[in-house]
Structure 1
Amino acid sequence: MDAAQNTPAEGRRVLIVRNVQSGTAVIRSDPGATFAERLPHAVVHELVEGEDLAEVVGAAMASDAPPHVLGIYGGDGSVSRMAHLARQYDRPLLAMPGGTFNHFVRALGVDSVDAAIDAYETGSTVEVGVADATADDDAPLTVLNVVSVGAYPELIEERERRNSLGKWLGGVAATAVALQRAEPLTIVRSGHRARVWSVFVSVGRNDPDRVATMQRQEAEAGVLDVRIHHARGSKVRAFASLAFGKRSAAVLRAARLFPRDADVERLVVPELELRVRPEQGHPSVFVHDGELEQRDPGGFILRCVAVPRAVTVFAPLGER
């Protein structure tokens, strides 16, 4: 559906799903008052634990008055799942920052709920490229920022096992354990085998000085920017490579803890296929937009394909 055909009318025929589990690591004001004031006719649904986003949206689309716009208030994982549904139902996406990092919406210049609603009310949109990520024979997943295998997914897997400690303490404990247990994994690409610490597959071209490309840098992405960190350095360098902030990376480079440029291979390609083989006793996992995916032990085949202009997203003018 063309976003320009939708008239704001204070949120009429807009579905907004709030993921109340997102952003628990940061203090955020409740957006309920903003929704009520600026989008009084929107349907706002709070996604509770155990509820499936696809089922909520599917029920709304099957109703007598299906939404013209799909809105989401949550983190990158929630936004990527709603983007997948926006593609499925051919609806524009109203994405609002409600998570801890909000990499995707920040890349589009959406730094607040009000900024997203401003773009919606003026009909300002951008056609956003995504990646389709497929593991073995599963259905493709919509990726907005990055897909990763190796050290970062293992760190996330350790952190999720320590949820009872809270996000901060759990993260510290997970980093300590992951650093101790870390081992390179084997990938096979185009018939060539390599031992690597990590692979990051970013949607669109990204900062050439980073290894962990967590946040996309462009909207209309038609390629994948791949960083392969070969296992020639230490475990410390492997985890130092996960620093995705410019300041953190600069400090680590100055301390000579960051991976050497010769150890990081960069590819800019329209698609990529990897056979991933973790070491025995290590989890068979990958991460997309902060969401952990478990695979059968022994490894899996990961395919990523760039899909330009895949979803229409409300964003401020000039964010192209």
Structure 2
Amino acid sequence: MKRRLAGARRLIAVDRVVFGRIAARPWPFAASTLPRLSRAADHGVLWFGAAAAIAGFGGTPGRRAAGRGLASLALASAAVNTVGKRMVRRPRPLRDGVPVVRQLRRQPFTTSFPSGHAASAAAFAAGVGFQSPRWGALVAPVAASVAFSRVYTGVHYPSDVLVGAAIGVAAAVVVRALGSDRREPKPPRAAAPALDAGEGLVVVVNNTSGVPPLLVPHAERLRAAVPKAHVIEATEDDDLPALLEKAACLAAERGGALGVHGGDGTVNAAAAIATREGVPLAVFPGGTRNHLAMSLGVQEIEDTARAVRNGQATAIDLGYFTGVDGERVVFVNTFSVGAYPELVRVRERWSRRLGSWPASVLAALHVLRTAEPVPVVLGGQRRLVWLVFVGNCAYRGTGVAPLRRSDLADGVLDVRVVDAGAFARTRLMAAAVTGALGRSPVYSAKKLQGLLIEGLGEDTHLAYDGEVRRAPSTVRMAKSHKALVVYHPGA
């Protein structure tokens, strides 16, 4: 017991010595920035603003990173305020040696140990970094500055800050463990070249896709991740299909692979060309939604780059439908007739606040209020529908606008139909309230290997992988099993 007390006294003495040296040392430019930064972090305001910026500029990966960071911050804050500060009621440091210019206008009145600001800063930075190392690297210096500012302004001892930061990191670890995606069976590996540093990889970057980069241009990030790859940048003045065709031929000559950085429509075009030229496809997420990349477990450019270097690839299915001229058109993710494009837009805006399933139901109700039903013939039966959704492979969930797939090579089309007719809105609303959407008489779903849609009018449009075009009177749909080899970090 005496040894423990002696050790505690030595730690306290060291704490005070370090605190005094920090107070006595001049820190260039710190007096004008650190107190303001410390105040900005009060009540998590700084981190909520950072989360909004990351979500706004980072697309889907950014939104996930921001959500993980805020969840970690909430857990760390709860741990510090409900347990930490009540267990150790340590008084605040004496500020006699701290220059007045550094001191905060409003001094904290709570106990000193541990530092809540340091815990929140570390939790947010670690939470963001676990989800997106790129955004975490941007946030980390700010978080470290906030933590140090608490000693610099004289409101915490160094040990308060260190323990608070440790609590924050621990909270982020817990959130990562609780919020990790459920483990899916690893897809079987397909033959694809392992391209060291990307040698033999030809990547087309569609600069018109997605959100403009915040700091580093997409092409520069790609060159850093796969330095030996040949990177081609496409602007709005370029013929994207022609560039993809040229890149695929060049990749075939080099025994490499075609890479594409862009949204769902860009990936669709690249998938069709890669299949025709017989080269593997490397999908680098660069659009707004990145549905195929999400299904592949790819969140960052570096995820795909790692798979390319290791030769990790799998074979996936492609869906096909007949276009106006009778040509066979590829779709990688989804095909739809009716109100699906608007439904997806509304659902994705609401899903961040409400969750996927409630947002799907409410988005369906919202769109059905304004949508015009479409006459179709399905299975020889004439029907009036608001929506025909066809997914390439089975999607999770009961809703009419599902998000994720577990298996990209299951050989089926996921067909979901919402009928119009008498009391359809009332029936769908009742299904939403009772949670029985899958048993609603206006909603039907089947897993098929092919589908024939007939009787489409001249003004009817269809959508596939984010692209919209006029529909022919008859659409035949089929699957091509394991038609395309794609790099997959989980293979």
Same fold per TM (> 0.5)?
yes
Q: Which has the higher helix share?
A: 2
Residue identity (%): 29
Residue from 301, 323, 332 that aligns with 1:113: 301
- Structure 2 residue 263 is the aligned partner of structure 1 residue 75: yes
Residue 171 of structure 1 is matched in structure 2 by none
Deviations 1:100-150 (A, max 9, x none): 111111111111100011111111111111101212443212111110001
Residue 39 of structure 1 is matched in structure 2 by 226
In structure 2, what residue type is equivalent to 1:315?
Answer: H
Shift of 1:62: 5.1
- Structure 2 residue 263 is the aligned partner of structure 1 residue 84: no
CA distance in 1, matches of 2:269, 2:425: 33
Residue from 217, 224, 229 that aligns with 1:30: 217
1:298-317 matches, cutoff 5 A: 300-317=473-490
CA distance in 2, matches of 1:64, 1:269: 35
Structure 2 residue ranges without an equivalent (≥5) = 1-188, 345-363
Residue from 10, 14, 28 that aligns with 2:197: 10
Residue from 288, 294, 305 that aligns with 2:464: 288
In structure 1, what residue type is equivalent to 2:409?
Answer: E
CA distance in 2, matches of 1:195, 1:300: 15
- Structure 2 residue 384 is the aligned partner of structure 1 residue 195: yes
Q: Highest Rg: 1 or 2? A: 2
Residue 442 of structure 2 is matched in structure 1 by 263
Deviations 1:168-226 (A, max 9, x none): xxxxxxx9x97675221111123210111100001112224111235444211301010
Change in 2 beyond 3 A, CA 1:187/1:237: same
Q: Secondary structure at the match of 2:298?
A: coil
Residue 163 of structure 1 is matched in structure 2 by none
In structure 1, what residue type is equivalent to 2:299?
Answer: D
Q: Secondary structure at the match of 1:262?
A: coil
Q: Secondary structure at the match of 2:441?
A: helix
CA contact (8 A) 2:247 2:258 kept: no
Residue from 224, 227, 236 that aligns with 2:413: 224
CA distance in 2, matches of 1:213, 1:150: 16
- Compare relative contact order (CA 8 Å, sep 6+) and give the higher one, 1 or 2: 1
Change in 2 beyond 3 A, CA 1:61/1:143: closer
1:146-165 matches, cutoff 5 A: 146-153=334-341
CA distance in 2, matches of 1:89, 1:99: 24
TM-score by length of 2: 0.51
In structure 2, what residue type is equivalent to 1:269?
Answer: L
Change in 2 beyond 3 A, CA 1:155/1:208: closer
Q: Secondary structure at the match of 1:117?
A: helix
CA contact (8 A) 1:228 1:266 kept: yes
CA distance in 2, matches of 1:256, 1:64: 50
Residue 245 of structure 1 is matched in structure 2 by none
- Greater shift, 107-116 or 32-41, is seen at 32-41
Residue 396 of structure 2 is matched in structure 1 by 207
Shift of 1:37: 2.2
In structure 2, what residue type is equivalent to 1:45?
Answer: I
Shift of 1:253: 2.8
Q: Secondary structure at the match of 1:286?
A: strand
Cα RMSD (Å) of the superposition?
3.3
CA distance in 2, matches of 1:20, 1:255: 45
Residue 117 of structure 2 is matched in structure 1 by none
How many aligned residue pairs are there?
Answer: 281
CA distance in 2, matches of 1:254, 1:273: 33
CA distance in 2, matches of 1:215, 1:97: 16
Q: Secondary structure at the match of 1:287?
A: strand
Deviations 1:223-249 (A, max 9, x none): 1010011114556988x9xxxxxxxxx
Change in 2 beyond 3 A, CA 1:105/1:51: same
CA distance in 2, matches of 1:185, 1:231: 8
Shift of 1:64: 10
Shift of 1:290: 1.0
Structure 1 residue ranges without an equivalent (≥5) = 157-174, 241-251
CA contact (8 A) 1:126 1:219 kept: no
Shift of 1:34: 2.7
TM-score by length of 1: 0.76
